[in-house]
A and B are shown apart, each in its own frame.
Chain A
Amino acid sequence: MRLKIILALSVLSGLILSWNLHTMFLKVPDELNQGAIFRIIYFHVPSAITSFAGFFLAMFSSVGYLIKKDLRFDSVAASITEVSFAFTTITLITGSIWGRVIWGIWWTWDYRLTSFFICWLLYVGYLMLRRAIDDPTTRARLCAVLSIFACVDVVIVWKSIEWFRTQHPGPVLSIRSGGGMAPGMEAPIWWNFLALIMLATVLVLIRMRQEAMQREIDTMRRYAHAF
């Protein structure tokens, strides 16, 4: 059943992505000031939203673990965090390449870049902590606490660095006030977002199956030592 869901989702996300490539290159004209490079937005923004949504979901799942003490919640949190982390990396690198063309520099200590980088560092810590602890319940417990802390911190970091003013362009999507993009240009962002969310779900599902396998190994090992 789950295998079918994984397969269906990955095929669907592949179809949307290739259809989007078609719209992006053939339908959407070059942007007036930025030229072709602006198309990076179609990956940059959706993967940023995906990763943030993931970190929040992971926090809820961590809270769920602390309440229910069920290791499956921990697997969900770990899988989502790991996939979100990959998407954070994509956002950082695509953003950096975009900045190189538009601002002429690879990196600038603008608030969104900085916050995203801090967010990345926080979750590097999370993944490191997971590796450093061997006992599954201790690992689940401590990582759940860290996930909650990291998520709260990301919000505070975001607000505080915003006050340091900015080079990054303001929000361009229409859901925030005063959207600046033409509707025809914006639509592929949302389609890509859908596709990336599906891709992320597929990856999370695969990772969760692996975590389940790991749990099975742990129980069997304990069982074997009982003899």
Chain B
Amino acid sequence: MDQNYTFMFYGFLVAWLVVIIYVISIALRERKLRAELDRVKRMVDDREHESKR
């Protein structure tokens, strides 16, 4: 009976762990994308600047 409770706990834990890991992976990707967006924006700005001169 005790073991029963432990395994139920494990089950819930794993379910939430999967969600949390997925959310973390999304957050990491968000950060990478934002950094890349900044870089590309700067690149576009530079090129525009150069072409005007």
A contacts B directly (C-beta below 8 A): yes
Residues in chain A within 8 A of chain B (CB atoms): 34-37, 39-40, 43-44, 47, 83, 86, 89-90, 93-94, 97-98, 100-101, 199, 203, 206-207, 210, 213-214, 216-217, 220-221, 223-224, 227
> Which residues of A lie under 8 Å from residue B10 when comparing CB positions?
97
> Which residues of A lie under 8 Å from residue B18 when comparing CB positions?
86, 89-90, 93
18 A-B pairs (CB sep. < 8 Å): A35-B1, A35-B4, A36-B1, A36-B8, A83-B22, A89-B18, A93-B11, A94-B14, A97-B7, A101-B3, A199-B19, A203-B26, A213-B37, A217-B40, A220-B37, A220-B44, A221-B40, A227-B48
> Which residues of B lie under 8 Å from residue A227 when comparing CB positions?
47-48, 50-51
- Bound: A137/B40 CA distance, A: 20
> Which residues of A lie under 8 Å from residue B50 when comparing CB positions?
227
Residues in chain B within 8 A of chain A (CB atoms): 1, 3-5, 7-8, 10-12, 14-15, 18-19, 22-23, 26, 29-30, 33-34, 36-37, 40-41, 43-44, 47-48, 50-51
The answer to whether B26 touches A206 (Cβ under 8 A) is yes
**Interface contacts beyond A97-B14, A206-B26, A210-B26: sample of 10 additional A-B pairs, CB < 8 Å, sorted by A:** A36-B4, A37-B4, A37-B7, A97-B7, A101-B7, A220-B40, A223-B44, A224-B40, A227-B48, A227-B51
User: B5, B8, B29, B40: which contacts A210 (Cβ < 8 A)?
Assistant: B29
The answer to whether B37 touches A90 (Cβ under 8 A) is no
The answer to whether A94 touches B15 (Cβ under 8 A) is yes
For A47, the closest partner residue in chain B by CB is: B15
> Which residues of B lie under 8 Å from residue A39 when comparing CB positions?
8
- Bound: A37/B6 CA distance, A: 9
For A83, the closest partner residue in chain B by CB is: B22
The answer to whether A97 touches B11 (Cβ under 8 A) is yes
> Which residues of A lie under 8 Å from residue B44 when comparing CB positions?
220, 223-224
- Bound: A224/B40 CA distance, A: 8
For B42, the closest partner residue in chain A by CB is: A224
The answer to whether A36 touches B26 (Cβ under 8 A) is no
The answer to whether A210 touches B33 (Cβ under 8 A) is yes
- Bound: A214/B36 CA distance, A: 9
For A225, the closest partner residue in chain B by CB is: B47
- Bound: A227/B53 CA distance, A: 13
- Bound: A43/B18 CA distance, A: 12
CB distance from B43 to the nearest CB of A (A): 5
